Amino acid sequence: MAQLDYFVVDVFTDQALQGNPLAVVMNPAMENSALTTERMQAIAREFNLSETTFVERRSPAVERAEGVRVRIFTTQEELPFAGHPTLGTASILRMQAPETVLGGTVTLALNVGPVPVRFEGNGLFAEMTQRDPEFGPQLDRAMVARLLGLNLDDLDSASPPQIVSTGTAFAIVLLRSCEALSRLNVRQQEATAWLRERGARWFYVLAPAEETQQELAPHYRARMQFNGGEDPATGSAAGCAISYLTDVTQSRSEGDAGEVRVRRSKTVASSGSSAR
């Protein structure tokens, strides 16, 4: 059996054993050495983290033109895109394979397509450019509330739940309070089947943070329960949530300029009327 190099990295934090952990496996691309999809899935189950990535190096010319090939797996399936695996894998490549950095950017060739990750200075702070959002159907509020283990009046009455994708589709739900968010208890098995029928994978649930009154722009707390656990922080869902909040804000205003940001670890999003 081939021996593979791998790394475990904590994303959305600058402290070990915090943030969201990720396993990055260096998968040799040579014939008779590369892992099969089934083997990658088995390794991801063995790590038992929310995601595991597999880096498949190619020729320098191909990587310059298309990016470094990376595949992303949860313990149950392969994903077209996920946020913290993208940032974490790009960080490992920057440290272990500096030839993949071009102009301060590492581009990953994911199943969803090329995703550039930009680094600032000599540190590991990075920003990624997700795909433009695709807005799917709005969802029945009563059914969503039941699947979340909440009451109908816990949901924000002016913002219907909606499926949004920047590569992986989430059902974005805005609640009225953080107290309601603290009671989140997703009925995973039933919710998974219901969401898959509508083209999404998981719920991403937001609530306005208490400090909003002291802040110039609204802030939101977020939770995502999936696969029997809870993600401490997620980049792809946050991108979908930002797009949703921007769209909601624009529908309530006349398009004043604004900003949208995600704060690390706590995954607190602030929303204006436009994103940049």
Just list the catalytic residues. 51
Q: Which residues contact 85 (CB under 8 A, 6 or more apart)?
A: 11, 22, 51, 52, 53, 70, 72, 79
CA geometry: angle 147, 145, 239, nearest 5 deg: 85
- Of 31, 27, 21, 50, give the one whose Cα is nearest residue 40: 27
Angle between helices 235-252 and 83-96 (to 10 degrees): 130
Phi-psi map region of 121: left, alpha, beta (phi>0 left; psi -120 to 50 alpha) = left
Phi, psi of 6 (to 5 degrees): -145, 160
What is the number of residues in the chain? 276
Q: Give the integer Cα–Cα distance in Å for 271 and 247.
A: 10
Q: What would you measure as the largest C-alpha separation in the chain, in angstroms?
A: 61
- Of 166, 147, 269, give the one whose Cα is nearest residue 212: 269
- What number of helices (H) and strands (E) belong to the chain? 7, 16
